[in-house]
Amino acid sequence: MNAYKYLIVGSGMAADAAVRGIRELDADGSIGMISDETDKPYARPPLSKGMWKGRPFEKIWRGTENLNVDFHLGRTVTELDPAARRVRDSQGQEYAYEKLLLATGAAPIRLPFGDEDIIYYRTLQDYQRLRALSEQGQRFLVIGAGFIGSEIAAALSMQSKQVTMVFLENAIGERIFPPEISQFLNDAYRKKGVELIPADGVEKFEKTGSRFKVQTRSGRVIETDGVVAGLGVRPNIALAKSAGLNVENGIVVDDHLRASAPDVYAAGDVAMFPHAALGKMMRVEHEDNALKMGKQAGRNMAGADETYAHAPIFYSDMFEFGYEAVGELNSKFETVTDWQEPFQKGVIYYLDGGRVRGVLLWNVWKKTKDAAALIAEAGLFKAEDLKGKIKFE
């Protein structure tokens, strides 16, 4: 049996960051990493952005292998016994641990058809598959207009591909942006040549040779060389749940990132943690959280005893538009827009119950600290107080 001082399940960005956190305090304690992916840790965000804009392939690697880690790749952890401090993988191999991190991330929501033919865009292999298809085909269908759908549609369009987007909402990013920004994005995507089919869903899927024929609920038929879907993700909680850990919409952790069994921690997309500034339990599916929380979990596994009090930021790029954001961007909240130039540059405040719950920094950079500080303020704020609160040029 393999025995490790620190054992990490998952090889994503939180897992890599945890190794770095451990190594800050423990230079040579043994670390094992088990993952069902066959690649060593890499950055996911460039897969839908930078890699399509000429960012060198080698730049995605996190370099975890330089930190004295034993990798067990291509293996799914199927059992966790917290009392015996052991896990078992899909090949029957057992591993003992002193401290365990569950960094199992999240998995794409799938449609009930099109199994292996639809690319649910999450991994490096998904990128490689789409890239290969894009070198041969010209027409692509993107299902969904959230983060992944909007980014990958823009990336393919920038490769001069003919892109069609089908999505249930009326406009791109409708769940997070105020309606005027979502509508602006619809117009901008159309101007770039992307065909939008809003308020519709994919109903039938057929493969004919190397091409696909997709029918929507409203009866539209789209013939295409590749289909990519970004329908959201669900946290990978099955392992924690079957081990009897406290699980809700994520593995529940305390402010030290400890799960409900001794010496078991969780971090990244899978962890439901107390968000200090927002004063509620949250699960965040973004890079900054995976990196900071993973690192903090690693430090605490190595004995640091520190609180995770970070207010994670997130960001996205679509064509020439980009943003950073902090907190909850919920389009159902009241929003206050402070444009320097409409839809080109501005700050959007999300207000709920007199508190700023989220801030969207639209083409405004290096203001996330100000935004986090505002979210942490008790308020009470009125809409008319907010314009100009965050100064930008």
Does residue 266 touch ligand FAD according to CB under 6 A? no
Site size toward ligand FAD (CB under 6 A) is 36
Does residue 77 touch ligand FAD according to CB under 6 A? yes
Any idea how long the chain is?
393
Does residue 11 touch ligand FAD according to CB under 6 A? yes
- Of 229 and 351, which has the nearer Cβ to ligand FAD? 229
**Got the DSSP string for 100-142?**
EEE---EEE---SS-TTTEEE--SHHHHHHHHHHHHH--EEEE
The residue range among 4-12, 132-140, 195-203, 204-212 that interacts with ligand FAD, by the rule CB under 6 A, is 4-12
Contact in structure between 377 and 356 (CB atoms under 8 Å): yes
Burial class (CB in 10 A: 0-12, 13-18, 19+), 329: buried
Residues 317-336 that bind ligand FAD (CB under 6 A): none
- Of 103 and 181, which has the nearer Cβ to ligand FAD? 103
- Of 147 and 381, which has the nearer Cβ to ligand FAD? 147
The residue range among 11-19, 56-64, 135-143, 324-332 that interacts with ligand FAD, by the rule CB under 6 A, is 11-19
Does residue 64 touch ligand FAD according to CB under 6 A? no
The upper half-sphere exposure of residue 29, i.e. CA atoms within 13 Å in the direction of its Cβ, equals: 20
Residue 252 CB partners (closer than 8 Å, separation 6+):
245, 246, 259, 260, 272, 281
Among 81, 169, 315, 331, which residue sits at the site for ligand FAD (rule: CB under 6 A)?
A: 315
- Of 82 and 105, which has the nearer Cβ to ligand FAD? 105
**Got the DSSP string for 179-242?**
HHHHHHHHHHHHHTT-EEE-S--EEEEEEETTEEEEEETTS-EEEESEEEE---EEE--HHHHH
Paired residues of 337 in beta bridges: 348
Residues 193-222 that bind ligand FAD (CB under 6 A): none
Does residue 122 touch ligand FAD according to CB under 6 A? yes
Among 48, 150, 157, 296, which residue sits at the site for ligand FAD (rule: CB under 6 A)?
A: 48
Does residue 272 touch ligand FAD according to CB under 6 A? no
Nearest-5° Cα angle at 193, 158 to 189? 80
Does residue 118 touch ligand FAD according to CB under 6 A? no
Among 268, 298, 346, 358, which residue sits at the site for ligand FAD (rule: CB under 6 A)?
A: 268
Does residue 351 touch ligand FAD according to CB under 6 A? no
Does residue 34 touch ligand FAD according to CB under 6 A? yes
And the tokens for 111? 């449609």
Cα→Cα distances 298→14, 38, 104, 111, 363, Å? 9, 22, 15, 35, 33
| Least separation in angstroms between CB 312 and ligand FAD | 8
- Of 164 and 316, which has the nearer Cβ to ligand FAD? 316
Contact in structure between 246 and 139 (CB atoms under 8 Å): no
The residue range among 29-37, 175-183, 213-221, 347-355 that interacts with ligand FAD, by the rule CB under 6 A, is 29-37
Longest dimension (CA), the chain: 63
**Got the DSSP string for 271-301?**
EEEEETTTTEEE---SHHHHHHHHHHHHHHH
- Of 46 and 178, which has the nearer Cβ to ligand FAD? 46
Interatomic CA distance for residues 209 and 203, integer angstroms? 20
| Least separation in angstroms between CB 194 and ligand FAD | 18
- Of 174 and 288, which has the nearer Cβ to ligand FAD? 288
And the tokens for 139? 């027409």
Paired residues of 334 in beta bridges: 351
Among 32, 82, 105, 346, which residue sits at the site for ligand FAD (rule: CB under 6 A)?
A: 105
Q: Catalog residues that contact ligand FAD under the rule CB under 6 A.
A: 9-15, 34-37, 44-45, 47-48, 76-77, 103-106, 121-122, 148, 236, 239, 268-269, 285-288, 290, 314-316
